[in-house]
Structure 1
């Protein structure tokens, strides 16, 4: 009998070891302020060979959306699987653990299940948020200025420094190169462990600081000036004009910005995208060199989009398509990598879905989540999927913007946060463009479309008078 029990125990242990060995490593590239405009997404101006190659090895999602177009709430949502309206956090000023002590996060769950969890660069908006959930919380580099004129402009002044810089330095002269080096160091350190690693690359977020060679990839004169007009009949609080750009040294106060500075900033944004792409390539090459790619699932994603002069704005901070739509590429490990390599999916998916997707793939019991696993879409990119994707954006404590897209149309209601009284509505068409310039809400010719989109919105945001939860104090 003892021998029989010992045999059962041995089989159980072997089974557990085998099961653990079958679970993939997870590597997530989490990018800041990256629009759904890359070479693989059809951009004629982005130069992104490494991301394009990754897309050719996985599934590229053409209709992926964030839950709020601002850093902290968006990232919290991804890392908890809970929407901002569940967490009640809508601003960048409140860390997750300040108000939610018991919510189970993605790194926390993976760490509890034997994974090494590693954070490099910007993952949460607040660096030390959820720090106990990380095996390694690698120090995040700050903004770096190198040119004498930049340092002179900042000397003895309370300023963020210039909005852009192009010093002729190696990649690790600026901070994303440092993050890539940290990620490579962590891969070497944990190559024999199961790991969940987030590589939080911070470009193309302001300031647009990148080594000169990435600026030299692009011809400034070929960038077109975007239309600076605001959408006709939009709700008065639908857009934020400037975001943080106005706080940088040397930015004129005129509104909109003149064409020369506009073109320079667009150039800087693209240089930073190419710089970030090169860092992605270095980390991916290290995976190959360490023979880790065969058992590593890779996710490439952004926290939200960004306006580089469109609508005359320089920020995210809205419910607009260009701010809520994001790039998302998922490349599985092993044989999965070959199965759907280079596929394009038009399924409506959301960043909040990443949590449930990873927990299902790794066989963990998933805590309560507002998202749903994308495994069926990973198995079949053409699978019939959700009818709607939603986002929110708060304007102070009293006004909540709720928005819904079906992939072609975007409908937004601006509501009283307590009573759900509708203060304004917007309907925009986005069949072929990230931008739309006419609010069609109330237009009789689009009545059927608006009624359908309104029903989709209210299926997710019922007007039942229950106030939106407020666990922080969002600014207007």
Structure 2
């Protein structure tokens, strides 16, 4: 009898454990490149994004979410490790995570160790095969960008001429199906993979590369918009900004046919804005396809969805076409978190003005999935997901270096943005900026040092120093030098 009871208890315990494991939700993250909050659900008057808008109606939309650095590689490493760039010491796009940090526990690594199938599709890390052992399935990042014969011929010509810069035009509108461009293939691979893992627990990252340059998307998405209806943004630079605050319009200059000096004319500006919007609508359609598959496979009831961007982007504002700065429009990002439909108390169709950060995503998913995670610089957003109007953090911070000697440290309280440009070793303040953002992503006057805003600057300085004390150690720098 005792043996029977003992065996029963063992079997019962095993059944409970199996049941608990099955109750752990799946995770699907849409990770988008260069996407600012230029979406219908965020109040855009121009962007056509019905599928992302629908996702927002099924979850919590964060209106004040921020990335930790407005550049691809460090931002993505921060999200996938739960550690800030200043902790990792990697600030450039040239240094892979595992080149420096062999023992850091990443999100896919943790989930894989806990029985999840971990799947990487498209652009997740900046470096395609970084952290490759942590993924159960990893699709090679697809770099094919151009489809029009004239553009393919141009690339071949540049290659034969020995031109190291093999970027073609900054935009393209081939009349093709979605899968002809790489994000369509990412969505196709995601759909096929969902069918294969539908009976498993999974963590899937769907990395969508648009609207990163070049603004290449099928013609039908360009046709959604009338180019002539796009307004030309102000090219005015912020008055009295620190001399290194903005990056010149940078990466766009690397594309064929773009003038190397001076501002773009209005026609080219409108074409590029048109291309950015077409690219956004293109990735919106891919989100819709993947979400439909989740529903068709009856996976939505046990899958949490995160929709996020690695950083913002300027499409002509301040006369710039890049990220690479600490300004609000570059560090603010869209973030939508939609709990599994079976979750009791699930919030849907609500917004939150809580100050949240991309570095918080790791801890959030660890808590939701009931895992024991590594130490993190972020914190779980579960309380604010469950109660979107609750009081939350007083500050969100980001960094951006200028070379190896100067570090820009920036903080927002949701209304004001304060930035100090410091000596990276001594923390001596070389310059400061204070901008008001109560009603706009843009601000055109640095009021740091203005007696009228002394109270606001004192408060913001205090918030910044709570995260970046003046007596801190020098900023860690693990970047590899750029290889020519």
> What TM-score do you get using the length of structure 1 for normalisation?
0.98
Is 1:54 the counterpart of 2:55 in the alignment? Answer: yes
Residue 118 of structure 1 pairs with residue 119 of structure 2: yes
Corresponding residue for residue 153 of structure 1: 154
CA–CA distance in structure 2, aligned partners of residues 45 and 254 of structure 1: 29
Match of 2:195 in 1: 188
- Deviation at 1:229? 1.2
Distance 2:109 2:84 in 1: 18
Contact 2:425 2:475 in 1 (8 A): yes
* Rounded Cα–Cα distance in structure 1 between residues aligned with 2:65 and 2:430: 28
Listed one character per residue, the Cα deviations across residues 159-195 of structure 1 (whole Å, up to 9, x for unaligned) are: 2111100000000111110110011111011111000
Decide which of 287, 291, 311 is 1:280's aligned counterpart: 287
Q: Residue 470 of structure 2: SS of its match in structure 1?
A: coil
Whole-angstrom distance in 2 between the partners of 1:299 and 1:247: 32
Report what 1:417 is aligned to: 424
1:249 is matched with which residue? 256
SS at match of 1:109: helix
For the Cα contact (< 8 Å) 2:301–2:340, is it kept in 1? yes
The structure 1 segments of at least 4 consecutive aligned residues displaced by more than 2 Å after TM superposition are 1-5, 334-339
Could you tell me which of 453, 460, 465 is aligned with 2:467? 460
- When the two structures are superposed, what TM-score results if normalisation uses the length of structure 2? 0.97
Match of 1:27 in 2: 28
Shift in Å at residue 8 of structure 1? Answer: 2.2
Match of 1:240 in 2: 247
CA distance in 1, matches of 2:269, 2:358: 30
- For 1:370 and 1:428, the matched residues in 2 are separated by 26
Selected match of 1:345 from 342, 352, 355: 352
Are 2:426 and 1:442 aligned? no
In 1, distance between residues paired with 2:254 and 2:38?
A: 26
CA distance in 2, matches of 1:232, 1:88: 31
Q: CA, structure 1 residues 256+376, in 2 after alignment: closer, same or farther (shift >3 Å)?
A: same
SS of 2:234's partner is coil
* d(CA) in 1 for partners of 2:414, 2:132: 36
- 1:210 aligned to which of 190, 202, 217: 217
Which runs of no fewer than 5 residues in structure 1 stay unpaired? Answer: none
Question: 2-side partners of 1:405 and 1:129: how far apart?
Answer: 31
Cα distance between partner residues in 1 of 2:342 and 2:135: 29
Note the C-alpha offset of 1:337: 7.9
| 3-state DSSP of counterpart to 2:200 | coil
Give the deviation of 1:6 after TM superposition: 1.7
Q: Secondary structure at the match of 1:98?
A: helix
Other structure's SS at 2:250 match: coil
Alignment partners' CA distance in 2, 1:235 and 1:165:
36
Q: Name the structure 2 match of 1:428.
A: 435
- 1:224 corresponds to which of 227, 231, 254: 231
Rounded to whole Å, the distance in 1 between the matches of 2:326 and 2:9 is: 57
What is the CA–CA distance in structure 1 between the aligned matches of 2:374 and 2:137, rounded to whole Å?
Answer: 23
Does the CA contact (< 8 Å) of 1:57 and 1:338 recur in 2?
no
Q: CA deviation at 1:468?
A: 0.5
Q: CA deviation at 1:307?
A: 0.3
Question: Alignment length, in residue pairs?
Answer: 475
Structure-1 separation of matches of 2:74 and 2:192:
29
- The Cα shift of 1:11 comes to 1.6
Output the CA distance in 2 between the equivalents of 1:248 and 1:338.
Answer: 49
8 Å CA contact 2:339–2:346 kept in 1: the answer is no
Q: Which whole-Å CA distance do the structure 1 matches of 2:27 and 2:333 have between them? A: 20
Aligned residue in 2 for 1:327: 334
Task: Please state if 1:70 is matched with 2:71.
Answer: yes
1:465 & 1:188 partners in 2: Cα distance? 50
1:6 paired residue number: 7
Q: Cα distance, 1:383 vs. partner?
A: 1.0
1:136 equivalent in structure 2: 137
* 1:338 Cα deviation after fit: 7.0
Alpha-carbon distance in structure 2 between the residues aligned to 1:309 and 1:466? 37
Say if 2:405 is the partner of 1:405.
Answer: no
In structure 2, how many angstroms separate the alpha carbons of the residues matched to 1:123 and 1:150?
Answer: 27
Q: Are residue 292 (structure 1) and residue 277 (structure 2) matched?
A: no
**C-alpha displacement at 1:438, in angstroms?**
0.2
1:186-219 CA-to-partner distances (Å, cap 9, x unmatched) read: 1011111000000000000000000000000010
| Residue 60 (structure 1) shift | 0.2
What is the deviation of 1:144? 2.1
**Equivalent residues of 2:302, 2:342 under 8 A apart:** no
Q: Distance in 1 between matches of 2:34 and 2:364?
A: 23
